[in-house]
A and B are shown apart, each in its own frame.
Chain A
Amino acid sequence: MAVTTPPPSDAEFTRVRSTATAGSGKNLLEVKALKMHFPLTQGIIFQRQVGAVRAVDGIDFFVEKGETLGLVGESGCGKSTTGRAILQLYKPTAGAVVFDGVELTKLGGEQMRKMRRRLQMIFQDPYASLNPRMTVGNIIGEPLEVHNLAKGHEKTERVQELLRVVGLNPYFTNRYPHEFSGGQRQRIGIARALAVEPEFIVCDEPISALDVSIQAQVINLLEELQDRFKLTYLFIAHDLSVVRHISDRVAVMYLGKIVELADRVDLYERPLHPYSQALLSAVPIPDPAVESKRKRIILTGDVPSPVNPPSGCRFHTRCWKAQQICSEVDPEFIEHEPRHWAACHFPGA
């Protein structure tokens, strides 16, 4: 799995390569200076662009083969947009997405369509992501047909096999999504993603819409499938305890930027960025004895608008450590410890 990173084309790339995407040979996915801006327009006939929602504003990271990278952050921080921009469901404004040596942003429609066999997605809402007019067999079988992987009897067999893999009865093929519960639907969504035998799956909040007692079932299923099919996950979620459980490495996003990226243990035990620290301290723990002793960092205010984010460090408006420099200079995303990156002028405790 040799990865050929394209030569750095400009100064920005050189900087990027020296930080977060220092490519080791086993990176399956590399994201470089990725930007995704959505234009804001005014006017009825002549639409003038008056600004942009900077949903993702220059992020760098890599995902190694076989690992799970967790992506956490509050709603509106750009984590789902990142997932979609990687799969080219949005056309990124700038930056590069390199999957197994292929630069996805430069691929044409047909080439990308072929590529999608290797990159799949599991969506958040199992109620909205399955077509209510298609049977389960058609939903799971469609990707097989689109990619010419199986037809006729073979397809039926494959669909039944997939249903078995995700823990559903293989004879459900003729049923419609509304006949299933949320957890079962999420399993159908997972089966659909698995149908084309992908290498990389973006899991976009796959358990947020499920009941507490069902969440663990789906997490365990995702883990089993990863072992069995050697999958690589980008796991997007806002629940920090779940992300800790499932991820090997974790990236924390705030307002369109990754503020910290580290191995799971490092991030949860020694968070460097104040935002990660606040986020971790805000998670309630189901134990009254622990809860009564914990010191919470309570952030004031709300997340600023991504239309005109704060100058300098985007977190400085809510940060208790902020000083003059924070509002002036955007801190660089630097490797403070081996494999532990953070973007902060005053990292650490």
Chain B
Amino acid sequence: MAQQLLDVKDLHTQFFTRDGVVHAVDGVTFHLEAGETLGLVGESGCGKSVTALSLMRLIPQPPGRITEGSIVFDGQDVLKMDDDEVRGIRGNNIAMIFQDPMTSLNPVLTISRQISEALELHLKMDKSEARKRTIELLDLVGIPSAKKRLDDYPHQFSGGMRQRVMIAMALSCNPKLILADEPTTALDVTIQAQILDLLKNLAREFRTAFILITHDLGVVAGMTQRIHVMYGGKIVEKADTAELFANPKMPYTWGLLRSIPRLDEHRKAKLVPIEGLPPDLIAPPPGCRFEPRCQYRRDVCKEKEPELKRIPNAKPDHEARCWGTQEGGWLVDTDWHREIGDTRVIEEIKKEVADLPAETKKDGEEPPLPPPSPVN
């Protein structure tokens, strides 16, 4: 336990909207060791970004609120801190790289202002020191002729270069943990390769812990030590990276891996998509969150929610949230490459989606009152 840099337990983050309470993060538990790189994978709306924002207490409040759980970073509970204490951690010990480098830099400040702000604030450097350090940082992230570009504005940089500036900013105070939220999604493939290469080298050099949040299984494959797959606000599978790709144990992960065409494999005649639609987090399915889209489902999946548990035929630290692959389940020995499930069930799911009333909205209803927050 002493080794652990971050320990998140049973985190619940909810948004109180007019249509109801959105259970964006619904009981997420994980930990991270110093210097480790963890991948958080899932589709949009699965709660991965909200998890990251919760870690830094950046959830807009209202409508959002962390309703339950604890986030222990470096021995301190982030949720019990007052605003000043949190500010001392943000950017200093935990830094964040956002998805969109176009909108996450301030367009009216020069990049040197934006980077040195953190240096002056957290490390109490004076102006000239901070400026010197800024040049070092920009050199480090590979911005050519950093000295000359110091007083440029964000619009004078390309997307890839802006993302480098963001990374320089994240590194500025030597944080122990960097949260990278889809750091390459807005970039082109060749630029993505540059940025991933840079992040990999930095992680090695500074022994910084990373949480890499992405929807792209390809990106995490080469970057991380462990991967957590999220679906519908919950972690549905945890494993180390090699194990997850070699021996996935959750039908949702199977679906993800099957549905993307791979460059290094023979072209398949047909892709096997995950049918159906992502769950509505206002009224999530009562049983397993993935049950409405799962072609391996049985009655138990609809009735009771499975726990995230160790599973047979896998490494000891491999956990999955599935009745089928857990001890005594019907998917324990399933070869997911070959057995793609009951075609009758697949047709059923397709039909359910076609008939699904896309949104049942009741207008004029009062938003439910948020409960008092345990934060502060």
Does A10 belong to the interface (CB within 8 Å)?
no
Does A329 belong to the interface (CB within 8 Å)?
no
Query: Does B191 lie within 8 Å of A302, measured CB to CB?
Result: yes
Query: Does A283 lie within 8 Å of B256, measured CB to CB?
Result: no
Tell me the smallest distance from the CB of B331 to a CB of chain A, in Å. 19
**Could you list 29 examples of A-B contacts with CB < 8 Å?**
A74-B189, A179-B359, A181-B277, A183-B277, A212-B260, A213-B259, A216-B272, A217-B275, A220-B271, A240-B189, A241-B262, A244-B263, A244-B267, A245-B271, A282-B192, A283-B189, A284-B192, A284-B218, A284-B219, A285-B264, A286-B221, A286-B257, A286-B262, A287-B245, A287-B262, A288-B221, A291-B218, A302-B158, A302-B160
Does A167 belong to the interface (CB within 8 Å)?
yes
For A282, what are the chain B residues with a Cβ–Cβ distance below 8 Å? 189-190, 192-193
A204-242 interface with B by 8 A CB criterion: 211-217, 219-220, 223, 238, 240-242
For A13, what are the chain B residues with a Cβ–Cβ distance below 8 Å? none
The residue that A278 contacts in the complex, of B190, B242, B273, B278, with Cβ under 8 A, is B190
Tell me the smallest distance from the CB of B120 to a CB of chain A, in Å. 30
Chain B positions near chain A (C-beta within 8 angstroms): 43-45, 158, 160-161, 188-194, 196-197, 215-219, 221-222, 241-242, 245-246, 255-257, 259-264, 267-268, 270-275, 277-278, 293, 350, 353-356, 358-359
Query: Does B194 lie within 8 Å of A288, measured CB to CB?
Result: no
The residue that A245 contacts in the complex, of B216, B241, B267, with Cβ under 8 A, is B267
Separation of A282 and B222 alpha carbons in the complex (Å): 12
Query: Does A75 lie within 8 Å of B188, measured CB to CB?
Result: yes
Query: Does B43 lie within 8 Å of A211, measured CB to CB?
Result: yes
Closest 5 CB pairs of A and B: A284-B218, A216-B273, A291-B222, A216-B259, A74-B188
Tell me the smallest distance from the CB of A301 to a CB of chain B, in Å. 8
In the complex, residue of chain B having the shortest beta-carbon distance to the beta carbon of A217: B273
For B358, what are the chain A residues with a Cβ–Cβ distance below 8 Å? 172, 175, 179-181, 184
Query: Does B273 lie within 8 Å of A220, measured CB to CB?
Result: yes
In the complex, residue of chain A having the shortest beta-carbon distance to the beta carbon of B219: A284
Q: A283-B189, A285-B264, A286-B245 are in contact. List 18 more A-B contacts (CB 8 A).
A: A74-B188, A74-B191, A172-B358, A175-B358, A212-B259, A216-B271, A219-B271, A219-B273, A220-B271, A223-B270, A280-B263, A283-B263, A285-B221, A285-B222, A286-B218, A289-B245, A290-B264, A291-B222
Stretch in A37-45, A101-109, A292-300 touching the partner: A292-300
Number of interface residues of A (CB under 8 A): 52
Query: Does A74 lie within 8 Å of B271, measured CB to CB?
Result: no
In the complex, residue of chain A having the shortest beta-carbon distance to the beta carbon of B197: A298
In the complex, residue of chain A having the shortest beta-carbon distance to the beta carbon of B215: A212
Does A307 belong to the interface (CB within 8 Å)?
no
Does A279 belong to the interface (CB within 8 Å)?
yes
